[in-house]
Amino acid sequence: MNNSNRGQKRDQVFRYGGDFAEQRIVRANGSYIYDSDGRAILDFTSGQMSGILGHGHPEIVAVVQEMAANLDHLHSGFLSDPVIEFAGALVDMLPPGLDRVLPLSTGGESNEAALRIAKTYTGGFEVVAFDRSWHGVTGGAAAATYSGGRRGHGPTLPGILTLPTPHAYRSPFNREGGYDWRAEFEFGWDMIDRQSTGQLAAVIIEPILSSGGIIELPEGYMAALQKKAHERGMLLIVDEAQTGMGRTGHNFAFERDGVVPDILNLSKTLGAGLPLSATITTAAIEQDCHDKGFLFYTTHAADPLPAAVGQKVVEIVIRDRLADRARELGDYLKSQLHDLQQRHALIGDIRGRGLLLGVELVTDRQTKAPASEAGAAISRRCLELGACLNISRRAMAGVFRLAPPLTVSRDEIDSAVAILDQALSECGTQ
């Protein structure tokens, strides 16, 4: 196919999130993707923040080949051994109590299921979400998403109430370098109580808000949140789409806080790049919903092929101690980024944990004015130099999200940091 025809066909792809990168990707392996010119590009977003084992992991390839040949898809009314074994592997990995697994395909789908479970169980319909959240683009998940995609297509579901995101770097409750998250927290809940019609059902949160700008919840926040929720008869839903399966230095990010959610949602990292998600809850909640006629049939619920992949991902994460590796390499990457911050005034803040880190760019460290235009230029330059650190979107251009595979090497980290350093020098304001 000549370049003219390829360009014409490229234009036939609906732009679902802004413009596409100019590079056309033809293959991927390990920590690299390769474009049509044969250029190797370090993939420091793990695909769509998902490929924690890198591209083409041989054990995952073997599972896909075997399952595609023997047992790939079934009617949702059937169970298969891969699904049963996948559920068992997840339950064994989780704290006691989280022992009922609903296997699904995407993060948005798992959040839809969680919200429906919470509403069925509590009898309420109101949902509390952070004002910088991202939970998906389907109906209920989109209604609880505030970091983008809210305009231009009419009203969202009723009953979605917002809680201020505890963003230490930018919160109005950060005064003279001291961040009083508890005061902000109480203020937010006072506003929720004023707005609620008395039919609260759930709080849905990300332990680290990724699309919101890599905003990490302060220690103690999740426990306080669960207490507020339970006092009001609500369930706590923790959406670990990007933080689960070792990425933050724990198998699951909620473990740092000693909190066990009522419902846990896993996606992205669970399938290591393949479409797999899970909504996990307690036996009591599952039994109550079942007794009430809970229904959540989807075409690919409990499909055996992705379930087998998920079981293998769980095995590899535990066997290879990838949470420990993410913690060690995350500390190393963070130290490299802090060195860059000393040389580039454009870097205002570095945050996150494990191998999910954020670098926020500002035009002035005192005013903290966002450097979105510079961020977009730096992102493009990094891609030209051979590193996908963040393909800029308008809402996120000033914050780089760094989430390499948990299998990344120190040499690959050094290469990515060197590329970011060069791009900052060429495109940023010193």
From 119, 232, 353, 401, the catalytic residue: 401
The string over 3-15, giving b where at least 16 C-beta atoms fall within 10 Å of a residue's C-beta and e elsewhere, is eeeeeeeeeeeee
From 132, 134, 184, 247, the catalytic residue: 134
* 116 touches 140 (CB < 8 A): yes
Answer yes or no: 134 catalytic.
yes
Answer yes or no: 181 catalytic.
no
DSSP category for residue 303 = -
From 228, 232, 268, 334, the catalytic residue: 268
From 184, 239, 286, 412, the catalytic residue: 239
Answer yes or no: 268 catalytic.
yes
Question: What is the C-alpha separation between 8 and 385, in angstroms, rounded?
Answer: 27
Answer yes or no: 206 catalytic.
yes
For 97, the 3-state DSSP assignment is coil
**CA atoms within 13 Å, Cβ hemisphere of 281:** 24
Question: What is the C-alpha separation between 247 and 253, in angstroms, rounded?
Answer: 8
Which CB contacts under 8 angstroms, 24+ apart, belong to 321-328?
Answer: 322/52, 322/245, 322/246, 322/406, 322/407, 323/246, 323/248, 323/249, 323/250, 323/251, 323/354, 324/249, 325/246, 325/406, 326/246, 326/247, 326/248, 326/249, 326/354, 326/355, 326/406, 327/249, 327/353, 327/354
Structure tokens at 250: 């724990």
From 43, 206, 240, 412, the catalytic residue: 206
Among 265, 271, 256, 389, smallest CA distance to 323 is for: 256
From 119, 184, 242, 412, the catalytic residue: 242
Question: What is the C-alpha separation between 82 and 71, in angstroms, rounded?
Answer: 9
Question: How many other β-carbons are positioned within 10 Å of the β-carbon of residue 46?
Answer: 29
Catalytic residues: 134, 206, 239, 242, 268, 401
